[in-house]
Amino acid sequence: MRAVLSSLTFDPAGVVALDVTPDSSLGESRRRMNRIATLDGGAVFNDFGFSEADRTIELKWTPTSADQEAAVDRLVQLYPQLRLSLRAGLYLVAPEAYKPSADESSLSLLVVEKLA
């Protein structure tokens, strides 16, 4: 799967394309729900619906060059929010953690919203 990260503002070096591995995760689809026990032994459920902002996207890839790793690191250090383009859609994300490695690098992204 192909993933493209880009800055929100014009930056000639602010785009990086990654060929992510199949074990990358697009996060869970969960509802904002909680359960409260009642005195009669039952329960009450509060359901506040579904939000894309509850997802955490985990990208994993095999590094192809030092320049690619430097570009990802630069985006994570400079920008509080990025655009992420995947087959599943276009997302506004906040980079949470980047872990470079010679074998498999990873990037954790918190979804702010799904743009398309």
The amino acid at residue 77 is Q
So what's the pLDDT on residue 29? Answer: 86
* pLDDT, average across residues 80-101: 96
**Domains of the chain, earliest start first:** 2-25+34-114 (2.40.10)
- Averaged pLDDT of the chain: 95
So what's the pLDDT on residue 5? Answer: 97
* pLDDT, average across residues 8-34: 93
| Distance, C-alpha 73 to centroid of its chain | 15
Query: Do residues 4 and 15 make contact, with C-beta atoms less than 8 angstroms apart?
Result: yes
Residue 110: pLDDT above 90?
yes
Residue 30: pLDDT above 90?
no
Beta bridge mates, 68: none
So what's the pLDDT on residue 27? Answer: 87
**SS3 annotation, 63-105:** CCCHHHHHHHHHHHHHCCCEEEEECCEEEEEEEEEEECCCCCE
Q: List pLDDT tens digits, range 47-88.
A: 999 999 999 999 999 999 999 999 999 999 999 999 999 999
DSSP 3-state of 71: helix
Beta bridge mates, 108: 58, 97
Query: Do residues 72 and 16 make contact, with C-beta atoms less than 8 angstroms apart?
Result: yes
So what's the pLDDT on residue 60? Answer: 97
So what's the pLDDT on residue 45? Answer: 96
φ, ψ (nearest 5 deg) of residue 72:
-65, -45
φ, ψ (nearest 5 deg) of residue 73:
-60, -40
